[in-house]
Amino acid sequence: MKYIIALLLAFTALSCSPNYKFNRDKAAFEASKVKMSFVSVADMNDSYFELKENNFFEFYRQLFDSVKNTRFPGKYTQQGDTLFLKFYDKKGKDLLGTKAVINEQKKQIIFFK
């Protein structure tokens, strides 16, 4: 009985983890092309936000134009110029929030928590 409970707890923890949820969509995410990209340049860490096909997005940071050191993928829905963001990992939501507004003329994106 202990083993069944332990197995159920492990399965529940894995199914709720952000990596498990992302792994289900990983193939579709990687096959999706970038539709729009936004960049914020800083002294050491540049930030990138990319909108992809199939309503995927990715926020990531790079240190000195090298390897991605922080990565938060997710899915979005769009109503007009407003994006509603759903991150696979809660840390992405804590960083950027759940809404963003795109200004296509200025090629800008503004995030709201």
**Residue 74, pLDDT score:** 95
Residues contacting 13, CB < 8 A, separation 6+:
none
Domain extents for the chain?
2-112
Give the number of other CB atoms < 10 A from CB of residue 27.
Answer: 9
Q: Is there a contact between 50 and 37 (Cβ–Cβ < 8 Å)?
A: yes
pTM: 0.76
Q: Is there a contact between 76 and 58 (Cβ–Cβ < 8 Å)?
A: no
Which runs of E-coded beta strand occur in 1-55? 34-40, 45-52
Band the pLDDT of 60: cuts 50, 70, 90. Answer: very high
- Letter string b/e over residues 52-78, b meaning 16 or more CB atoms within 10 A of that residue's CB: beeebbbbbbbeeeeeeeeebbbbbee
